[in-house]
Amino acid sequence: MHNTNMNLIKQIRIALQNPDFPDLNFLYSPEVLTLAPEVLEVLLEEEKQDFEKKLNTPDGEITFETFEDFSLLDYFFGILEHYQWVNNDDVIRKIIEDFEPKYIDFGNEVSYSKRYYEMLKICLENTTLTSEQKRILEQSIEAYEIRGIALSEEKQAELKKINKQLSELSQKFSNNVLDSQKEFEYIITDETFISEMPEDDRIVAKNRAFEKKKQWFLFDASQWAYMSIMKYCSNSEIRKYFYEARNRFATEEKYNNKPVILETLKLRNTKAELLGFKNYAELSLHFKMAESPAQIKNLFTDISRKAKPKGQAEIQEIREYFQLRDIQVWDLSYYANKLREDKYAFDSKKLKKYLEFEKVLAGMFEIVKRLYGIEMKQLKIESYDSDVQVYEVYKDWNFLSYFFTDYFYRPLKRHGAWANIMREKFERNKKITLNVCNFQKWSDGTTLLTLSDVETMFHEFGHATHEMFSQSEYSELSGFHVEWDFVELPSQLLENWCRDREGMKLFAKHIETGEDIPEDMLQKLEDLDTFWNGQMILTQNTYAMMDMWLHSEKIPFTENELDERVIANYELSALLPRSESYSPHTSFTHIFDGGYAAGYYSYMWAEIIEKEVWKAFKDSWNIFSPEISKKFYDTI
């Protein structure tokens, strides 16, 4: 190996072993990315050797500490994966695609090691353990048994192959979605069509066109562009074009995800059957609070039945108020917004002027400080993008975690919003949690948010606090390491404070005058709290049921059969005819490139629990009640 490479690898290792916040500016530099494949190979070989040594531990020397180890390989690969999610260019994509099969192979080797399984049982049966240590070992042993440690070598080999194939399909699905979205753009030349749109959105669209050396107003595939068109564009044909384009993402030619979905469903089902389950949904639910696919289907069928009358009334109100003989699915958001403005005198454009990004962020931190007594200390650290911010989080003067944010849209960033753990706590290493969003920044650096954006920010920070506040000594029992249909509880709960008047008063200040949000606007927000809820619940149910049906019923064999299954599911909750291009499954990354397969119902499931917790705060007549917040903190 060249001396220069050896020195750089040494620098990379030092950076990874630093217990404080890593130098991401260095780790994402071209020099490091060029050498990353070689570093991954080195770390993989070291882990293989360490694992072999561990397997040779004499029975009498096995302790709980035998299994505790911080993996530099997992950490570095996680850092690279994060970079792919926020900057998915050809360089990082190739690094991940080339190495991941080897990474999965080693994971399979560990996951089906009979000796390691026996060591876990020896430790559980013959060692004095704390309750947490015992729980971790019990969970580990159960995981080995569920994934087939008792199966024949032939069946285990088939499962290993399936795991590897599923990982590759997940990458392909996500890349197809992003690549098809990158190719989409639409130029609006007639400004009258977007005259109702907030000024900041029109400025952004004009700047997008200018950046690409084009005229007029350019809208791309981002969530910001889509919602701006659907809510404010007065031309129904343009709204239809955007709606159908969104449904066509990853459906055509080289980006077609339908074959990927078919193969994914087939492999997941085969895996479940090899492990003794009827279908993949049953396998998925084994590790969740819900008991069976039938329970989920019955629950969501009941919710849809109750939501339909409200949804029908919402559509009828639009028809009557605007004297519409007919209305299409792509018209709903536009007319719902106009109804809110015209009939109920609530202008979301005016509300937006009270939701400036920096003030919302400071208000969110203040809300969590009042609830749990945490302090956020911003650090001056250069990172891979100038918008990335890093904080130290303290409670009672004790360090909890690093927290870093990447809130703004970039073309190569994965769409949506998420929270993650970049580094879990182990010995001297300090925990790192993160939030990523895709808010649209103005050209002058100012950002006004919609109320939906604010809810997203609070939601993801709720996830982050779940991990930050975890008091377990062990990462296996912290934060996100809970039943998946419980994991949305802290995130959905925190959203309530950004909609409640007492919470909003902490951050809703006019962008120009600095004045507090007026009482009449707060009252209107309260009065419209359930506005359009019927439609939102039915839409969420459609996604949850599509996920559950695809993973619990007979697997479709053709693209037509797949589409028919998705359409049949839509019609169970639909109140309006679907578009011909209706194809939400081809970009449904939650279930085909995420942890929500046969688990998308978790949002509604956790919301039912969350409503009870929020009620406790409201019933106390103080949404910052020290008693209730302490009880929630100590319990959750």
Residue 278 pLDDT: 97
Q: Given pLDDT bands bounded at 50, 70 and 90, which one contains residue 2?
A: low
Report if pTM > 0.75.
Answer: yes
What are the start-end ranges of the E strands in 285-388? 374-379
Residue 69 in this model has a pLDDT that exceeds 90: no
The string of pLDDT tens digits covering residues 521-562 is: 999 999 998 999 999 999 999 999 999 999 999 999 999 999
Distance CA 432, CA 424 (A): 7
DSSP state of 594: S
The pair of structure tokens assigned to 295 is 């329970």
Distance CA 137, CA 338 (A): 57
Residue 441 pLDDT: 86
User: How much of the chain exceeds pLDDT 90, in percent?
Assistant: 86
The string of pLDDT tens digits covering residues 85-136 is: 999 999 999 999 999 999 999 999 999 999 999 999 999 999 999 999 999 9
The string of pLDDT tens digits covering residues 471-508 is: 888 888 887 888 888 889 999 999 999 999 999 999 99
The string of pLDDT tens digits covering residues 177-189 is: 999 999 999 999 9
C-alpha torsion 457→461→462→463, nearest 10 = 110
Residue 11 pLDDT: 92
Instruction: Give the three-class secondary structure for 379.
Output: strand
CA distances from 152 to 157, 159, 312, 415, 626 (A): 9, 11, 55, 42, 55
Whether the CB-CB separation of 209 and 218 falls below 8 Å is answered with yes
| Rounded mean pLDDT, 353-362 | 96
Q: Given pLDDT bands bounded at 50, 70 and 90, which one contains residue 429?
A: confident
Give how far the C-alpha of residue 232 lies from the chain's centroid of Cα atoms, to the nearest Å. 27
The pair of structure tokens assigned to 456 is 């997203």
Q: How long, in residues, is the chain?
A: 636
Counting beta carbons within 10 angstroms of the beta carbon of residue 229, is it exposed (0 to 12), middle (13 to 18) or buried (19 or more)?
buried
Helical H segments across 249-292, by residue range = 258-274, 280-285
Distance CA 443, CA 445 (A): 5
Token pair 């194809």 is at which residue?
A: 583
Residue 38 in this model has a pLDDT that exceeds 60: yes
Cross-strand bridge partners of residue 448: 356
The string of pLDDT tens digits covering residues 363-409 is: 999 999 999 999 999 999 989 999 999 999 999 999 999 999 999 99
Instruction: Give the three-class secondary structure for 402.
Output: strand
Helices 90-111 and 30-55: crossing angle, nearest 10°? 0
Distance CA 364, CA 367 (A): 5
Instruction: Give the CA radius of gyration of the chain.
Output: 25
Residue 73 in this model has a pLDDT that exceeds 80: yes
Q: Given pLDDT bands bounded at 50, 70 and 90, which one contains residue 209?
A: very high
Distance CA 217, CA 201 (A): 10
Distance CA 353, CA 52 (A): 60
Residue 146 in this model has a pLDDT that exceeds 90: yes
Distance CA 435, CA 465 (A): 11
The pair of structure tokens assigned to 616 is 């406790």
| Rounded mean pLDDT, 350-370 | 96
DSSP state of 354: T
Residue 145 in this model has a pLDDT that exceeds 80: yes
Distance CA 407, CA 254 (A): 31
CA distances from 213 to 1, 7, 216, 423 (A): 46, 44, 10, 41
| Amino acid residing at 589 | T
Distance CA 336, CA 338 (A): 5
The string of pLDDT tens digits covering residues 567-622 is: 999 998 889 998 889 999 999 999 999 889 999 999 998 888 999 999 999 999 99
| Rounded mean pLDDT, 408-433 | 89
The string of pLDDT tens digits covering residues 289-343 is: 999 999 999 999 999 999 999 999 999 999 999 999 989 999 999 999 999 999 9
Distance CA 94, CA 532 (A): 44
